[in-house]
């Protein structure tokens, strides 16, 4: 026995040493290798802006990384949301796909899928280019949450796939939870529309109202496809989420559990594009007006790139603003018609405001209000004059408002905005409620009118000085800023993502 012991130990050392040396050599190679990622954002200005900001953050965080963004052009001719991000930089390149064969009658998701051959060609060219450089590796594809059809392209090239989820962790949890209940036949989605049902969601502390579910989960024609998309999320290597750990601790705790059957979730937010048009004439005019207003005296109303209202609703907003007595900056646009299964065209402008607004409104508010069409939102929100933000609750808009410490009044319109409104109003107490169940899309057809009383109440609550909500907003503002610093929660999550990408290099 004594003679065998040294022999056994010596033999194991001989067997282990080459293995250790191989691993060490592989690690050294990865440390000096150029790692290339492909990003595919969906063709919407909010998605492209945040994806671009994430790509820049990644390449700035690690010298080994470079990113190619494959930009799908807007479905609408002349819409600049896609083409605005095409100036390549060091280790950040843009590949703008052709604008040919565009059909405005296509659904949003089928339009994205129709671009798959062009995406495949772009990835093939990049793979060929990388293959000629022994110091480079194509490490994976990061797809937008609406570009899951592109997983087929990643599979063709045997590349790991990751998701950039441009909403929040709590909503991601809702999607997985409802999909799981549906698959287990424990939830009949067709019964949820117009119901008063409330149910528990593992990423929320309060019972969630079915009236705040996204429309796609209430449409019996749409939800089978939606749940298929949620299932495909589970097949990826990881999900980058534009949120902050300190904002959603319960949601991240859920995803860190052992029985979730979900990929790793990285809360790397807030990811925001602060690119502004400060030299634009309209922007200069707006900012000049704001500089003349007292601190926190102006309520800002803006409803996103697709947000607009009809004449009747516009008049209700005007009445609410006048009754509130507050100064206002109002991004006013005319709603486009919503057609079933087809994304509407971007909102237009009213040709004559005097025909739409209450008689004499413009004259009575000339000294306290300003009506604009397009709004330079980031520039406006960081102005000291802004006291509150009436918002559609798009996730980018929410993050921008919190980043600048501006309380919100929640008025969702479509997509997941009803959930976001619930999250901000009920769960976190960071927004006042206008009507968090409101929606205007193909599920409900003609929407109800939100009354001037509801709007006025939301404005006054959000504008209230020294309120608990305003204090919570300022506390969250500090947490968002700290999260991005070295050692902050989002900074650490981003580094963990890079580490996992490197370990998964094919």
Enumerate the domain spans of the chain. Answer: 32-166+236-269+484-503, 281-480
- pLDDT at residue 415 in the model: 86
Mean pLDDT of 358-363: 95
Select from 485, 273, 243 the least CA-distant residue to 379.
273
Q: Are 271 and 57 in contact (CB under 8 A)?
A: yes
The residues, ordered by sequence, that sit 6+ positions from 287 with a Cβ below 8 Å of its Cβ are: 278, 376, 379, 380, 383
Q: Are 267 and 494 in contact (CB under 8 A)?
A: no
Which of 62, 144, 194, 379 is an active site residue?
A: 144
| Cα–Cα distance for residue pair 296/304, rounded to 1 Å | 22
Average confidence score pLDDT of the chain: 86
Active-site annotation holds for 196: no
pTM for this predicted structure: 0.88
Question: Rg of the chain over CA atoms, in angstroms?
Answer: 25
342 CB neighbour count, 10 Å cutoff: 17
pLDDT tens, 257-271?
A: 776 789 999 999 999
User: Measuring CA to CA, how many Å separate 42 from each of 83, 356, 414?
Assistant: 13, 34, 17
What backbone phi and psi angles, to 5 degrees, belong to 409? -115, 120
- Sheet strands (E) in 145-302: 161-165, 198-199, 208-209, 238-241, 265-267, 298-302
- pLDDT at residue 323 in the model: 97
Q: Residue 188, exposed/middle/buried by CB under 10 A (0-12, 13-18, 19+)?
A: exposed
pLDDT tens, 33-90?
A: 899 999 999 987 778 888 999 999 999 999 999 999 999 988 765 444 555 555 677 7
| Cα–Cα distance for residue pair 96/85, rounded to 1 Å | 9
Q: Say if residue 339's pLDDT is above 50.
A: no
What confidence category does residue 191 fall into, taking pLDDT thresholds of 50, 70 and 90? Answer: confident
pLDDT tens, 371-407?
A: 998 899 999 999 999 999 999 999 999 999 999 999 9
184 CB neighbour count, 10 Å cutoff: 8
Fold of 281-480: Rossmann fold (3.40.50)
| Cα–Cα distance for residue pair 253/257, rounded to 1 Å | 7
Which of 47, 177, 392, 423 is an active site residue?
A: 47
Q: Say if residue 234's pLDDT is above 60.
A: yes
Following DSSP, what letter does each residue of 298-342 receive, concatenated?
EEEEE--TT--B-HHHHHHHHHHHHHH--EEEEE--BPPPPBTTB
**Residue 225 CA from chain centroid, whole number:** 20
- pLDDT at residue 45 in the model: 78
Q: Say if residue 477's pLDDT is above 60.
A: yes
Q: Are 317 and 330 in contact (CB under 8 A)?
A: yes
The DSSP symbol for 143 reads: E
- pLDDT at residue 20 in the model: 45
| Cα–Cα distance for residue pair 340/312, rounded to 1 Å | 22
> What 3-state class would DSSP assign to 36?
strand
Strand partners of residue 95:
70
Active-site annotation holds for 19: no
Strands 265-267 and 369-372, bridge-based pairing: unpaired
What backbone phi and psi angles, to 5 degrees, belong to 114? -65, -15
Fold of 32-166+236-269+484-503: Rossmann fold (3.40.50)
Mean pLDDT of 305-327: 92
- pLDDT at residue 85 in the model: 56
The answer to whether domain 32-166+236-269+484-503 and domain 281-480 are alike in fold is yes
Q: Which residue has the tokens 């990003």?
A: 39
What backbone phi and psi angles, to 5 degrees, belong to 5? -60, -50
> What 3-state class would DSSP assign to 486?
coil
> What 3-state class would DSSP assign to 229?
helix
Q: Say if residue 340's pLDDT is above 50.
A: no
135 CB neighbour count, 10 Å cutoff: 9
The residues, ordered by sequence, that sit 6+ positions from 271 with a Cβ below 8 Å of its Cβ are: 50, 53, 54, 57, 242, 399
């Amino acid at each position: 026995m004594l003679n065998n012991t040294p022999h056994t130990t010596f033999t194991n050392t001989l067997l282990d040493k080459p293995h250790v040396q191989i691993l060490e050599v592989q690690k050294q190679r990865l440390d000096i290798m150029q790692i290339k990622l492909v990003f595919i954002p969906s063709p919407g200005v909010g998605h492209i802006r945040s994806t671009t900001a994430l790509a820049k953050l990644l390449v700035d965080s690690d010298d080994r990384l470079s990113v190619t963004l494959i930009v799908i052009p807007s479905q609408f001719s002349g819409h600049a949301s896609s083409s605005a991000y095409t100036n390549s930089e060091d280790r950040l390149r843009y590949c703008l796909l052709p604008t040919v064969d565009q059909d405005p009658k296509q659904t949003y998701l089928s339009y994205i899928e129709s671009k798959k051959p062009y995406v495949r060609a772009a990835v093939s060219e990049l793979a060929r280019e990388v293959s000629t450089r022994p110091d480079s590796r194509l490490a994976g594809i990061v797809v937008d949450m609406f570009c899951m059809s592109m997983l087929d392209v990643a599979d063709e090239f045997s590349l790991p796939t990751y998701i950039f989820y441009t909403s929040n962790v709590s909503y991601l949890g809702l999607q997985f939870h409802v999909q799981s209940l549906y698959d287990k036949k424990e939830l009949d989605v067709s019964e949820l529309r117009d119901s008063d049902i409330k149910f528990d969601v593992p990423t929320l502390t309060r019972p969630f109202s079915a009236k705040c579910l996204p429309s796609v989960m209430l449409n019996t024609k749409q939800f089978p496809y939606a749940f298929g998309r949620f299932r495909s999320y589970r097949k990826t290597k990881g999900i980058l989420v534009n949120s902050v750990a300190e904002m959603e601790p319960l949601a991240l705790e859920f995803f860190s559990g052992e029985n979730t059957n979900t990929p790793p979730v990285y809360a790397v937010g807030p990811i925001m594009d602060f690119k502004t048009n400060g030299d634009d004439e309209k922007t200069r005019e707006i900012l000049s007006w704001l500089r003349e207003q007292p601190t926190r005296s102006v309520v800002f109303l803006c409803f996103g790139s697709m947000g607009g209202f009809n004449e009747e609703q516009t008049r209700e907003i005007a009445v609410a603003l006048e009754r509130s007595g507050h100064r206002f900056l109002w991004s006013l646009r005319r709603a486009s018609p919503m057609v079933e299964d087809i994304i509407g065209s971007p909102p237009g402008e009213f040709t004559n405001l005097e025909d739409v607004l209450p008689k004499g409104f413009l004259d009575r508010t000339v000294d306290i209000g300003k009506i604009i069409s397009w709004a330079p939102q980031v520039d406006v929100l960081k102005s000291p004059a802004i006291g509150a933000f009436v918002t559609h609750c798009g996730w980018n808009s929410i993050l921008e408002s919190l980043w600048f410490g501006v309380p919100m009044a929640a008025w969702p319109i479509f997509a997941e905005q009803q959930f976001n409104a619930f999250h901000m109003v009920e769960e976190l107490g960071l927004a006042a409620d206008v009507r968090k169940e409101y929606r205007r899309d193909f599920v409900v057809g003609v929407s109800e009118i939100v009354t001037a009383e509801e709007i006025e109440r939301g404005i006054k609550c959000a504008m209230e000085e020294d309120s608990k909500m305003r204090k919570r907003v300022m506390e969250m503002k500090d947490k968002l800023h700290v999260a991005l610093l070295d050692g902050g929660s989002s900074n650490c999550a981003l580094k963990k993502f890079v580490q996992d990408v490197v370990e998964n290099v094919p």
